[in-house]
Structure 1
Amino acid sequence: MAEQDRRVRRTRRVLRDALFELIFEKGYDRVTVQDVLDRADVGRSTFYAHYRDKEALLLAAFDELSAELRYEFDARAPGADPTVPAEAVFRFAYDRRPAFRALCGKRGGEVVQRHLHRLLTDLLTEHLRLDAPAPPVPADLVAEFCTSATLGLLGWAIDNDFPHDADWLAATYRRLAEPGLTALLADHA
């Protein structure tokens, strides 16, 4: 049984890695299931035993990254510093550059952007604890601002082949966003 689980994990990893490579090379919209099969050297029946289509493969890979990112967020103290979530995202992405080059760069596609945006918005809302009564700015607007700024800076880093490290990107985000976020959260306390 353990051997079968190992084979399943290996097959899924090979398919995921092939998809990421192809997204980076061609863009998500131009990648076909056949491209993935050829790159991964996997048969069509094996692919369909695991996934119904290309988007299901993408979402499964994305769910793995999401679970890891959620773990990173859960390890941090909520609400203490409004720039910590972005810093966690930047470090997480830098540690997984090949995946993020495929998922978040210009070639990642709308499906990827939409799922990553929703994930970050949910995580940021939870972390910043903006669901207390009567915030001066609606919680969903604050989370949207933080998500958009984080993804914007991350997209810039990816599209420019990660010209700086995660610390630089986090410091830049902090300089740009911290004054407003800190004032907003102080008003909200």
Structure 2
Amino acid sequence: MEPATQAEHVCTEPTDPRIRRTRQMLQSALFNLLNRKHFNDISISDIATQAGVNRATFYLHYTDKNALLQAMTEARFRELLDRRGVVFGCEGVLRSLALGVCDFLSQTGGCPEQLASMPLETSIIPVVEGMILHGLRVHQAPPETPTALIAATVAWAIFGAAKQWIQTPERLPAEEVATTIETLVKPIFSAIPAAH
């Protein structure tokens, strides 16, 4: 099996409730601003003001607004997957992951044009990759299995298809496109060598 990758990182929340609360306030502020402004037009000052903190406090928690967007996206995406009960190994996990990504993109603030320019993939893809890598470990893929490559390919395929779907006018229902994504992505797992 290949060494652990960045995609397998566990989202560790700080234990101090003040830190968690401040980060939640900053993430909520960005989410609310995205409903009114384009991401590129939102400043650190806008976010800090909306959250009721100063700029210095913002920088204690995030290096820039892209880091905040990534943290907010990852937290919201993980919550959505938890609500859906998505775990690797159950039948239909690829469909569930695809539906989760579609649901997330459809719930994200802003218009489809804004989604095209927001770096959401840096938050969503590592979560999907991590779940697939974990599943491959649990199901004891043979040591020669290119697990990182498989996980990355599947995660990017799911995200890319879902992003294309959200930008399509008069698109199919999410459930229908998730089934199509599952059908297209499932053959990637045929790269896993048969057990000897």
Q: Same fold (TM over 0.5)?
A: yes
Corresponding residue for residue 106 of structure 1? 116
TM-score, with length taken from structure 1: 0.66
Secondary structure of the equivalent of 1:79? coil
Q: 1:120-160 CA deviation, whole Å, 9 max, x = no partner?
A: 2111211344653334x411111112111101111112222
5 Å-filtered alignment, 1:11-160, equals 11-12=25-26, 14-21=28-35, 26=38, 28-36=39-47, 40=50, 45=54, 48-49=56-57, 51-52=61-62, 53-69=64-80, 71=82, 75-76=85-86, 78-81=88-91, 84-91=93-100, 93-94=102-103, 97-99=106-108, 105-109=115-119, 112-129=120-137, 132-135=141-144, 137-160=145-168
Whichever structure has more helix as a proportion of its residues is 1
C-alpha contact 2:71 2:123 (8 A) present in aligned 1 = no
C-alpha contact 1:79 1:127 (8 A) present in aligned 2 = yes
| AA of the residue aligned to 1:62 | T
Query: Cα distance, 1:86 vs. partner?
Result: 4.4
Which stretches in structure 1 are left out of the alignment for 5+ residues?
none
Q: Distance in 2 between matches of 1:8 and 1:148?
A: 31
| AA of the residue aligned to 1:33 | I
Structure 1 pair 69–125 and aligned structure 2 pair: CA distance change class (3 A): farther
Identity of aligned residues (%): 17
Q: Distance in 2 between matches of 1:121 and 1:94?
A: 18
Structure 1 pair 77–123 and aligned structure 2 pair: CA distance change class (3 A): closer
Query: Cα distance, 1:58 vs. partner?
Result: 1.9
Secondary structure of the equivalent of 2:89? coil
Task: Give the superposed CA RMSD.
Answer: 3.9
TM-score, with length taken from structure 2: 0.64
Q: 1:44-70 CA deviation, whole Å, 9 max, x = no partner?
A: 62x654544423432331242243155
Q: Distance in 1 between matches of 2:149 and 2:109?
A: 25
Which stretches in structure 2 are left out of the alignment for 5+ residues?
1-17
Q: Distance in 1 between matches of 2:109 and 2:102?
A: 6
Query: Cα distance, 1:116 vs. partner?
Result: 2.1
